[in-house]
Amino acid sequence: MNLKPLTSRLPPATRESLWAYVLVSPWVIGFFIWTAGPMLASFFLSFTEYNVVSPLVWLGTANYRGIFTVDPLFWQSLKVTFTYAIMSLPAGLVVGLAVALLLNLNVPGLSIWRAIYYLPSVIAGVAVAVLWQYVLNPRFGVLNWALSLVGIKGPGWLADPNWALSSLAIMSLWGAGGGMILYLAALQSVPTALYDAAKIDGANAWHRLRHVTLPMISPVIFFNLVMGTIGTFQYFTNAFVMTQGGPVNATLFYNLYLYNNAFRYFRMGYASALAWILFVIILFFTLLIFRSSSVWVYYEGQLRRRR
Amino acid sequence: MAAAVDAERVARQQRLEHTRRDVLSRTVVLVILSLGAIAMLFPLVWMVSSSLKPLAQINLFPPKWIPTEQVKVEVKGKVYPLYKVELDGETRQLLMVNKVQRTGVFADPSDISQTIEVDVRQAEPVEQVRFRWENYVEAMTTVPFYRYAVNTMFVIFGSMAGMLISTVLVAYGFSRFRAPGLDILFLILLSTTMLPNQVRLIPTYILFSKLGWIDTLRPLIIPSFFAGAYDVFLLRQYFMTIPLEMDDAAKIDGCGVMGILFRILLPLAKPAIATLAIFHFMWAYNDFYDPLIYLQRQRNFTIALGLQSFNAFRSARPDLLMAASLVTVLPCILLFFFAQRIFIQGIVVTGVKG
């Protein structure tokens, strides 16, 4: 190998640069093959009609116009996705945070509790969807059995268009342990001196939660909300396995609708347009949440500036 | 004097009051946590129980938690079911040797030649606890589960190798070198972490179909060799915490560029690598979307896809389905218990929820 003598004649800075480019090249090449290229291609495809087999037909903006004006399922899928986000994200936040707060009270056996609450988040994917199909069974499911113990006659859950989406939101609480771990770690990093100071100032438990704990862990809450919002737009497996979008499109999530167009009807152009609309929506919400964060997220470094 | 004693008594009472309130609030906390924990474990317990039941006991309301089976007794080479029968005010355990419409012909196990005819509604089967472990065998053999498992392992470890090799190299490049444009490249990398997968999904699919890779495992493995942005970011952050003086010392000792990576950085970054590997395992194991769109024939399915097709086409056998589901989630649960610390730290560092 003559590479070494050749490169060793180069000045050190150039040699360093060369090494850098060689080392990062897997990602750079990947970026062009799997990100930049496909993004441009899907943008182009979104103005066409293409089913992989027949030749491509240029449509101009017809896909977008169709989506916004004549496609009721597009609006339905947006409604489903947002409704689900509005139901599941705050509920998950409250449950995850509540468990974390309880566990932060120096309870005995912390690691055991933490493991139990986190365990359901470990098992993800199809198996969970399959399991919950049966848990939510209106006639024999254990959820309705548990409700019947306290005298409540449970609804039809997934079979009932009015309840199907709520069922999935309730099911999502089973995975609240993931958020719980994050919140717990954040809570444990809040300096105890702050609580002591608040106590001396006469703050009760609620005040300490409201004015010390929540501001101190707000960056984590914020992060989790951003990821949760984006995650809702990727929601797929449960809807696909459990409901296929039904009954009467009550659980037609955006990502499921996109999948149906791309891989069930092979409308690749239309699905690409849906993907780009999704991209814009996610971009919008990410920016919105980031912009609004200064109002309610407290970062420690800001303390001085605010005063 | 009396005042001092009084004050002490009051203080002691207050302290007592305090501990009493403490004990009370602790109990309340523990009760709430226990109720929550029961709710969390409930579906799993039902899953385990159902996987060990005979089919007829699954759709019962209220649910039967412990599977049972009617006791059967063998007499002279023939097997008869055992019943509790109410006879003249006393309950006897009898075998049913024959049944004519609503009338059962019962006999005592010690002597079945002497029979008694009783209305079957007066007889109640004698049940004993029995777990149907054979459900697992049946679930694993009615679908080519072994095949699914081999495919899944192939995908997981193939893509994991690609992910680790490429991520280590790229993270090293971004953390230890200076070059024109490198900062801009890193910014681009960061911005791609926010990108929804859907905008690149369809052309990628078309590319794979033009390459003839549909219904092969390649689309699930090959892209991993090009370093995912999020993994690179995490490992780079970890590399940044390793002091540069370590590199310099190694350089003086004659280490080259690769020597520094393999002898200094990688040994020190073991926890970060383990986190990446474990989260990759979980992700690849549970991934459903990619196998769904790329794999077609059953022999190429991964476990996740196999389970979904089992669910879709064998919904009449929830007992087997639960057994298969339980086998499916078992690796994740085991991994979680053996690597709990890495998990918990990993979630905290990455912010990725399971």
Q: Among residues A150, A22, A228, A205, which one has the least CA distance to residue B166?
A: A22
Q: Which domain holds residue B290?
A: 144-313
Q: Among residues A221, A131, A143, A211, which one has the least CA distance to residue A180?
A: A221
Q: H or E stretch including B68? A: strand B68-70
Residues B238 and B308 in one domain: yes
Residues B92 and B160 in one domain: no
Residues B102 and B203 in one domain: no
Q: Do A117 and B36 touch (CB under 8 A)?
A: yes
Candidate from B58, B192, B286 with C-beta closest to A125? B286
Residues B84 and B204 in one domain: no
From the candidates B226, B233, B333, which should be mutated to test the interface with A, based on the most A CB atoms within 10 A?
Answer: B226
Which DSSP category does A245 fall into? Answer: T
Would you state the pLDDT for residue B349?
67
Q: Is B91 exposed, middle or buried (0-12, 13-18, 19+ CB in 10 A)?
A: exposed
Residue B103 lies in a domain: yes
Q: Do A107 and B30 touch (CB under 8 A)?
A: yes
Most confident of B112-121, B156-165, B236-245, B261-270: B156-165
Would you state the pLDDT for residue A8?
66
Instruction: List chain B residues with CB under 8 Å of A233.
Output: 196
Structure tokens at A284: 């919008």
Question: Would you say residue B81 has pLDDT above 50?
Answer: yes
Q: Specify whether the CB–CB gap between A117 and A180 falls below 8 A.
A: yes
Residues B107 and B157 in one domain: no
At residue B130 the predicted structure's pLDDT band, cuts being 50, 70 and 90, is confident
At residue B277 the predicted structure's pLDDT band, cuts being 50, 70 and 90, is very high
Q: Do A126 and B308 touch (CB under 8 A)?
A: yes
Backbone angles phi, psi at A151, to 5 degrees: 80, 15
Instruction: List chain A residues with CB under 8 Å of B200.
Output: 34-35, 38-39, 42
* Residue ranges of A 258-297 with Cβ closer than 8 A to chain B: 258-259, 262-263, 268, 271-272, 274-276, 278-279, 282-283, 286
At residue B76 the predicted structure's pLDDT band, cuts being 50, 70 and 90, is confident
Residues B107 and B173 in one domain: no
Q: How far is B192 from chain A (nearest CA, A)?
A: 8
Would you state the pLDDT for residue B3?
67
Q: How far is A64 from chain B (nearest CA, A)?
A: 15
From the candidates B199, B287, B310, B342, which should be mutated to test the interface with A, based on the most A CB atoms within 10 A?
Answer: B199
Question: Would you say residue B353 has pLDDT above 80?
Answer: no
Would you state the pLDDT for residue B148?
95
Instruction: List chain A residues with CB under 8 Å of B304.
Output: 125-126
Residues B165 and B116 in one domain: no
Q: Mean of the pLDDT values across residues B240-247?
A: 88
Residues B250 and B285 in one domain: yes
Question: Would you say residue B115 has pLDDT above 90?
Answer: no
Q: pTM score > 0.80 for this model?
A: yes
Candidate from B40, B204, B343 with C-beta closest to A38? B204
Instruction: List chain A residues with CB under 8 Å of B336.
Output: 115, 118-119, 122
Q: How far is B102 from chain A (nearest CA, A)?
A: 29
Would you state the pLDDT for residue A289?
74
Helix segments in B211-314, DSSP class H: 218-221, 229-240, 244-252, 257-260, 266-268, 270-286, 289-294, 303-313
Residues B278 and B152 in one domain: yes
Question: Would you say residue B12 has pLDDT above 50?
Answer: yes
Kindly state whether A134 is in contact with chain B, defined as any CB-CB distance less than 8 angstroms.
yes
Lowest average pLDDT, out of A114-123, B313-322, B340-349, goes to B340-349
Q: Mean of the pLDDT values across residues B103-127?
A: 82
Q: Do B200 and A42 touch (CB under 8 A)?
A: yes
Q: How many domains is chain B built from?
A: 2
Instruction: Tell me how many degrees the CA angle A255-A261-A266 measures, rounded to the nearest 5.
Output: 135
Would you state the pLDDT for residue A303?
47
Q: Is B147 exposed, middle or buried (0-12, 13-18, 19+ CB in 10 A)?
A: middle
Question: Would you say residue B89 has pLDDT above 90?
Answer: no
From the candidates A56, A126, A128, A171, which should be mutated to test the interface with B, based on the most B CB atoms within 10 A?
Answer: A126
Nearest residue of chain B to residue A52 (CA atoms)? B206
Residue B154 lies in a domain: yes
Q: Do B292 and A240 touch (CB under 8 A)?
A: yes
Would you state the pLDDT for residue B86?
79
Q: Specify whether the CB–CB gap between B224 and B163 falls below 8 A.
A: yes
* Residue ranges of A 79-98 with Cβ closer than 8 A to chain B: none
How big is the A-B interface in CB pairs under 8 Å? 268
Q: Mean of the pLDDT values across residues B109-119?
A: 80
Would you state the pLDDT for residue A307?
36
Residues B152 and B289 in one domain: yes
| Residue percentage of chain B with pLDDT more than 90 | 47
Residues B104 and B165 in one domain: no
Chain mean pLDDT for chain B: 88
Q: Do A123 and B329 touch (CB under 8 A)?
A: yes
* Residue ranges of A 149-208 with Cβ closer than 8 A to chain B: 174-175, 177-179, 181-182, 185
Residue B82 lies in a domain: yes
Q: Mean of the pLDDT values across residues B147-159?
A: 96
Question: Would you say residue B142 has pLDDT above 90?
Answer: no
Q: Round to whole Å and give the CA distance between B260 and B254.
A: 10
Residue B233 lies in a domain: yes
Q: Do B347 and A272 touch (CB under 8 A)?
A: no
Residue B218 lies in a domain: yes
Instruction: List chain A residues with CB under 8 Å of B44.
Output: 119-120
Question: Would you say residue B119 has pLDDT above 90?
Answer: no
Lowest average pLDDT, out of A216-230, B12-26, B324-338, goes to B12-26
Question: Would you say residue B160 has pLDDT above 90?
Answer: yes
Of B129, B152, B167, the last residue of a domain is B129
Q: Do B33 and A275 touch (CB under 8 A)?
A: no
Q: Do B185 and A146 touch (CB under 8 A)?
A: no
Residue B20 lies in a domain: no
Q: How far is B72 from chain A (nearest CA, A)?
A: 28
CATH code for position B281: 1.10.3720.10
Domains of chain A: 3-64 (no CATH), 71-306 (1.10.3720.10)
Nearest residue of chain A to residue B176 (CA atoms)? A20
**A260: three-class secondary structure by DSSP:** helix
Residue B243 lies in a domain: yes
Helix segments in chain A, DSSP class H: 3-8, 12-30, 37-45, 62-69, 72-103, 110-122, 126-135, 142-149, 164-173, 177-188, 192-200, 205-208, 214-233, 237-238, 254-259, 268-296, 303-306
Q: Round to whole Å and give the CA distance between A171 and A168.
A: 5
Nearest residue of chain A to residue B183 (CA atoms)? A20
Distance, CA of B67 to chain centre:
23
Would you state the pLDDT for residue A13?
85
Q: Quick one: residue A62, left, alpha or beta (phi over 0 = left, psi -120 to 50 = alpha)?
A: alpha
Q: Round to whole Å and give the CA distance between B191 and A273.
A: 21
Question: Would you say residue B338 has pLDDT above 50?
Answer: yes
Over its length of 307 residues, how does chain A's per-residue pLDDT go in tens digits?
Answer: 445 555 667 888 888 899 999 999 999 999 999 999 999 999 999 999 998 888 889 998 999 999 999 999 999 999 999 999 999 999 999 999 999 999 988 888 888 999 999 999 888 789 999 999 999 988 888 899 989 888 888 888 999 999 999 999 999 999 888 889 889 888 988 888 888 899 888 888 888 888 889 888 888 888 788 788 888 888 999 999 999 997 999 999 999 999 999 999 999 999 999 999 999 998 888 787 777 777 667 666 554 444 3
Residue B170 lies in a domain: yes
Would you state the pLDDT for residue B293?
95
Candidate from B50, B62, B196 with C-beta closest to A233? B196
* Residue ranges of A 204-233 with Cβ closer than 8 A to chain B: 223-224, 227, 230, 233
Q: How far is B81 from chain A (nearest CA, A)?
A: 28
CATH code for position B93: 2.30.30
Residues B266 and B182 in one domain: yes
